[in-house]
Amino acid sequence: MNIAIIGSGGREHALAWKLQQSELAEKIFVLPGNGGTKNNIDLDGANIPDLKAFCFEENISLIVVGPEIPLAAGIVDAFEDSDILVFGPDREAAQLEGSKIFSKNFMKKYDVATADFQTFTAMDDPSDLIEEMKGNLVIKFDGLAAGKGVYVCASEEEAFSAIEDIKVKYGEDAEYLIESKLTGQELSIIGVTDGININCLLPSQDHKAACDGDKGPNTGGMGAYCPAPLATEELLNIIDETIILPTLNGIEAEGFNYKGVIYFGIMLDDDGPKLLEYNVRFGDPETEVILPALKSDLLELILASFDGSLGEMELEFYDEYFVDVVLTSGGYPGPYNKRKVINGLNDLDDTTLCFHAGTMKEDNKVLTSGGRVLNIVCKDKDIKKAVDACYSEIKKINFDKMNYRTDIAFKALKK
């Protein structure tokens, strides 16, 4: 079958790479794709009439959506009356990611383990709560904010200034929530669901802060690895019981049309694992390690979510660690340069995977075009060797002001 992947990041390059390995896959297009993907089509996935015309012309049977925005805009609903399968939740279910308040209310209704919270609008005065919690709390703007709507506060002053910031950025009528602050390591669990069953890929860890030691501003993700050794079988069973199964019960009870990916962003608090957020799509950069670690056919897995066979499918994984270090343009997540020539890509070992993110091709050269530029992925049965392999491969690559974290997966090494 012919497939269209929507998106342009490392996640979409990894999806195209993995889907192409399936015997069921024929031509795979990426809309708009990047300097590493083939069959790029310069088409905006959110433009439904153009997307439908393209799918008809190229005989597309399946659309795999990378980013959340087309899902929140209702791409699944828009194709409901066609023969084309769109892998993802419908618009209503996509609010699990698109609206923090919707998702926290869902968690509460279905008894999913999460931090306590209260919701507010600009009309309300949260002073009492902020004083009571001594400013030691987390404030979240309700809507999609590309990772910028969450304020982890340590004082009353920080909390009040976060609320001012929300009003300035998102309007006087912006809704937000205040929740208790949790502490601990974070874990990403990503699964494919048909709305009743779920098949989870390997547990992974992202590195969201820009600098070593989890310091500096938040980014889209500076690296990832899997399987995360801290996710013991015992812990995964608790997560199943307190987070994943209650979520599936909720999806079924609400009658969501959800044949897609569900991502659980979990904090391993002293008080037990707590759900921080849902994403309704593959995580980036987690996808760049969990797909290489998956031995089973991804296309079969996706199709099983549509034909009712997901519950019977047993996934197989490689018995190795996979580590991804993201190379960024200096300055990211602030302002950074573009159009810098990337050298050394042909020198990488055959076993190294290189998923492009912010790159473009021009005159046989590969140039930078975004903040997160490349994902260098290495594997080994020994996690330390996988990490070392990544950093030694990175030495072969260079572009002006190339930057990266030097401690990806170090948390796993310490264990």
Residues that bind ligand AMP (CB under 6 A): 115, 138, 140, 150, 152, 179, 181-182, 186, 208, 265, 276-277
Strands (E), 109-204: 117-121, 137-141, 150-152, 175-180, 185-193, 198-200
| Residue 153, binding choice from ligand AMP, ligand GLY, none, Cβ under 5 to 8 Å by partner class | none
- For the record, the structure tokens of 241 come out as 């019981």
Which residue lies nearer to ligand GLY by CB, 194 or 206?
Answer: 206
Which residue lies nearer to ligand AMP by CB, 275 or 298?
Answer: 275
> What's the CA gap between 397 and 327, in Å, rounded?
9
Binding of ligand GLY by 221 (CB under 6 A) = yes
Q: Cβ(327)–Cβ(373) under 8 Å?
A: yes
**Residue whose C-beta lies closest to ligand GLY:** 283
| Residue 356, binding choice from ligand GLY, ligand AMP, none, Cβ under 5 to 8 Å by partner class | none
∠ CA 174-175-180, nearest 5°, is 135
Backbone angles phi, psi at 158, to 5 degrees: -60, -40
**Residue of 284, 288, 297, 393 that binds ligand GLY (CB under 6 A):** 284
- 146 backbone φψ class: left, alpha, beta (φ>0; ψ -120 to 50): left
Which residue lies nearer to ligand GLY by CB, 284 or 393?
Answer: 284
Q: Calculate the CA dihedral of residues 99, 104, 106, 111 and round it to 10 degrees.
A: 160
Binding mask 105-144 for ligand GLY (x = CB under 6 A): ----------------------------------------
Binding mask 235-274 for ligand GLY (x = CB under 6 A): ----------------------------------------
Which residue lies nearer to ligand GLY by CB, 221 or 370?
Answer: 221
> What's the CA gap between 89 and 50, in Å, rounded?
21
**Residue of 206, 297, 324, 393 that binds ligand GLY (CB under 6 A):** 206
Q: Which residues pair with 263 in a beta bridge?
A: 190, 279
**Residue of 10, 35, 283, 333 that binds ligand GLY (CB under 6 A):** 283
Element at 275 (helix H, strand E) = strand 272-279
Name the residues that contact ligand GLY, by CB under 6 A: 206, 221, 279, 283-284, 286
